[in-house]
Amino acid sequence: MLYIVPTPVGNLQDMTFRAIEVLKSVDLILAEDTRTSGILLQHYDIRTPLKSHHKFNEHETSADIVERLKAGANIALISDAGTPAISDPGFFLVRAAAEADIEIQCLPGATAFVPALVDSGLPNNHFYFEGFLPQKKGRQTRLQYLAALDQTFIVYESPFRLVKTLEQLAAVCGGERKATVTREISKVHEETVRGALTELVAHFKEKAPKGEIVICVAGIENPKSKVESNE
């Protein structure tokens, strides 16, 4: 069995009872960063062997992992924070395991964009998850695509690039487009700042952000839907 096990995005107490039980019972845990995961495992007295599995080696290690699974091993995959394969390593291994008819179970658990979206107050009956934007090639194309969506869209960003990304979003979406910036989810200094994109740019130019960032941006108002609602 290959278990996909979400880990807390902030507070260590967000770990589920089932996740702890699985990590204690498997033969091996694959971790994005064994040092980061070691803190979590020590907190819950989980002594299962750890092995590195990250974006720089997942293509090379997945074949060996699949062979171990086929031989009868139970293995869990975790990332530094959140659900593996969601803007984190994991997809390649899950696909390889599925193609080899390995049984896979993904446990429900933490994913940073869900609390950020709900907390934003923006429409969430339909939404688009972008994750991290390309750093260079294709970035403007993605920004233009997002700007034309008529649903809330979600972008992950680092604190060091937040202001630049907000400025670019304001340029393509219009500075008055409503948005939120959520950081430090489930930690002591968790914060959501709401406002127009230009207001968010000004806020974070004055107050440098810390922690991992989730940006939620309202979709463009659909003129057709507005006309239909008035008829």
pLDDT digits (tens, 9 = 90+) for 110-124: 999 999 999 999 999
pLDDT tens digits, residue range 161-218? 999 999 999 999 999 999 999 999 999 899 999 999 999 999 999 999 998 999 999 9
Mean pLDDT is lowest, of 125-129, 148-152, 176-180, 185-189, for 185-189
Radius of gyration for the chain, computed over Cα atoms and rounded to the nearest angstrom: 20
Residue 17 phi/psi, 5° resolution? -60, -40
DSSP letter at 7? B
Cβ–Cβ under 8 Å, residues 158 and 204: no
Share of the chain above pLDDT 70, in %: 96
2-106 has which CATH code?
Answer: 3.40.1010.10
pLDDT in tens, 3-55: 999 999 999 999 999 999 999 999 999 999 999 999 999 999 999 999 999 88
Count of beta carbons in the 10 Å neighbourhood of residue 135: 8
For the chain, the structural domain boundaries read 2-106, 113-225
CA 85 to chain CA mean position, Å? 8
Q: How far is CA 8 from CA 36, 106, 137, in A?
A: 12, 15, 32
Cα angle value 167/169/175 (rounded, 5°): 75
Say what the pLDDT of residue 61 is.
Answer: 87
pTM tops 0.85:
yes
Tell me: pLDDT of 224 over 70: no
pLDDT at 104: 98
Closest CA to 22 of 76, 96, 88, 91: 76
Q: What is the CATH number of domain 113-225?
A: 3.30.950.10
Pairwise CA distance, residues 171 & 147, whole Å: 10
* Proportion of the chain above pLDDT 90, given as a percent: 86
